[in-house]
A and B are shown apart, each in its own frame.
Chain A
Amino acid sequence: MSLKRIEARFAALSGEGRAAFTPYIVAGDPDADTAWRILERLPAAGADLIELGMPFSDPMADGPAIQRGAARALAAGMDTAGVLALARRFRLGDQSTPIVLMGYYNPILNFGLVAFAAAAAEAGVDGLIVVDVPPEESGPLADALEAHDLALIRLATPTTDAARLAIVARRTKGFVYFVSVTGVTGGKEADAGSIKSQVEQARTATRLPVAVGFGVKTAEGAAKIAKIADAVVVGSALVEVVSESIALKRDPVPKVLDTVAAMAQAVHSARAGG
């Protein structure tokens, strides 16, 4: 399946005239079991695609929420093999919801690019976002992933001009991930007005679906993006729910799934609502 699973999902959603709701969770946050209970139920709560964060010790593109989530996951023993094990377990019960891993280069490089691609494909992963590898340096990674029909999804940002967009789009597969704010995850709220023109610019460089993330915090914000983009990614807001639940000594699972359901509902009804 792999790349085809992503393409099939976007084709189906396009037919229904709605955007994909894409929650991001940190694999293993706050521990492997809790993360599994969230992951398993994401599709039922309305997730169309899933971004599974690979925790890293130095998440320099992430704001405080995901930094804390990654630190919790690592402290609880999560590692690259553990992330793949979560994906594999998910895939046993769900053949249609794409899983995209999102992480940093060093653990993948350490695993071995070819070995990682093979293991990810075997686990039922469909694509990969590596935030600290620019297109100029991603040839070996792209080769390894292509051999297993995995999508390497690249990022575009508000500082990506037309010439750069062409470079970003060149070997990107599955979808293009548009980072809606200059900055790290979970920062300022994305402004739908400026995103609209930038997403339109991105569409001139690629025929792939365009996902928008990094500054989507609320159901209302997600609904606005859903009218513009093919997919809406929400991460920090969900990881923050995990933090809050832990602070209150409560099981994070119900609250995370409730938040996902509310946002998915907003995204799915956005275009119908006009």
Chain B
Amino acid sequence: MPLVLTLEQAYARAKADAGFQAELAGYLSSYVGRPSPLYFARRLSEHHRARIWLKREELNHTGSHKINNCMGQILLARRMGKTRIIAETGAGQHGVATATACALFDLPCVVYMGAVDVERQAPNVLRMQLLGAEVRPVTSGSATLKDAMNEALRDWVANVSDTYYLIGSAAGPHPYPVMVRDFQTVIGREARAQILEAEGVLPDALVACVGGGSNAIGLFHPFLADESVRLFGVEAAGEGMQSRRHAAALAGGRPGVLHGAHSYLLQDGDGQILEAHSISAGLDYPGIGPEHAWLRDVGRARYLTATDEEALAAFALCARLEGIVPALESAHALAKLPEVAAEVGKDGIVVLGLSGRGDKDLASIAPQLGRLA
């Protein structure tokens, strides 16, 4: 507990410090490549009959939104005098972003990754190693994201004096969900200004995929007070909600406590945490960020689910229609465009968070690609 209290205080000081914010803004602009474009997806718009804009987080350095948070937290870690960085990763996007930030600042980096994910996200493992990070496969439990997080927490409590734990999702103990959200709100702040510039009005709906929920909360948060803007999060339904092999904590879970957060969790009748299942390693978490649970409970945001099959179809469709290969995670958001478009109508404006690019997924879905092409 003292370690998260110390972090909370350090973050509060940094957040209020104009020097910290200016330093972060500088790296986001010159190193990450922000602002990311807001792109009018003409052919997806024609296909789905709505005005669809893509917030192109996949164009960021390292290929996903994860770097936004990593730049913020690595600057915080440096301020705190920490000399070693650890992280957990699912799809490897957060691991790559962390390894990148560590290379930039010459900090040793250990990334915990479920052994199953090491297998299915091999390109990202190589990238992390090339960047100088040590990837430690985690074989305990289901050998996926939650187990990687368990192992990172074990490392952190054993090495608290010199180690900074750089959590990549809007989950985990306070202050992480708030801090990760804050660093990701750059997505929504930019998107809000960009859509007002381009369309002259606020969008009718926002759509983003949700695992722990960092890209979604980053997109949603600057629009929370805009009540006309409908918010849609999309959870991974894996092999289907009836199959029990899914990762949809809101649609298929109950409130509980894991990793220091009280939120919805996939759990059995005894309160044991269930393995999440999704074709997308980055959504494979049995919980969800607590702020999403709150947005759902108060009715501000709605949460849909997309199956592996639906995500794969949307993945291929986006590639064909827009020349953009999305991450499988982001493909879950794309998969729900028919529902969202039907709701907002053909003149309705939709901003979709395209959180990452799909190069990393090609090898793992190669067997299905022939069928999709």
A in complex with B: yes
B270 and A107 form a contact (CB under 8 A) = yes
Contact A57-B272, Cβ < 8 Å, known A160-B2, A161-B2: yes
Residues of B within 8 A of A181 (CB): 158
B150 lies within 8 A of A109 (CB): no
**A190 at the B interface (CB under 8 A):** no
The number of A-B residue pairs with CB atoms under 8 Å apart is 81
Q: Pick the contact of A110 from B141, B160, B270 — CB < 8 Å?
A: B270
* CB–CB B160/A67 < 8 A: no
Cβ of B78 within 8 Å of any chain A Cβ, yes or no, is no
| A58 and B271 form a contact (CB under 8 A) | no
Residue B175 CB within 8 A of the other chain: no
Whether B146 pairs with A184 at a CB distance below 8 angstroms is: no
A164 touching B1, Cβ below 8 Å: yes
Residues of A within 8 A of B141 (CB): 57-58, 71
The dominant DSSP class at the A interface is: loop
Cβ 8 A contact of A183, one of B157, B256, B272, B274 = B157
Among B1, B157, B257, B273, contact of A136 (Cβ-Cβ < 8 Å): B1
| Total contacting residues, chain B, CB less than 8 A | 30
How does the 8 Å CB contact mask read for B151-191 relative to A, with 1 for contact and 0 for none?
A: 00110011111000000000000000000000000000000
In the complex, how many residues of chain A place their beta carbon closer than 8 angstroms to a beta carbon of chain B?
A: 35
Q: Give bound CA distance, A12 to B235, whole Å.
A: 57
Distance in Å: Cβ of B230 to nearest Cβ of chain A? 32
Q: A237 to chain B: closest CB distance in Å? A: 18
The reply to whether B271 and A108 form a contact with Cβ atoms under 8 Å apart is yes
Looking across the interface, which residue of chain A has its beta carbon closest to that of B260?
A132
> Complex: how many Å from CA A46 to CA B161?
38
Q: Does A106 contact B (CB under 8 A)?
A: yes
Please tell me if the beta carbons of B2 and A58 are within 8 angstroms of each other in the complex: no
Contact with A along B253-268 (1 / 0, CB 8 A): 0101111100001010
- Is B158 touching A110 in the complex (CB atoms < 8 A)? no
> Can you list 8 A-B pairs, Cβ within 8 angstroms, ordered by A?
A61-B157, A63-B154, A81-B270, A106-B257, A110-B256, A135-B1, A182-B159, A187-B158
Additional 5 contacts, C-beta under 8 A, given A110-B269, A184-B158: A106-B256, A106-B267, A159-B160, A164-B2, A182-B160
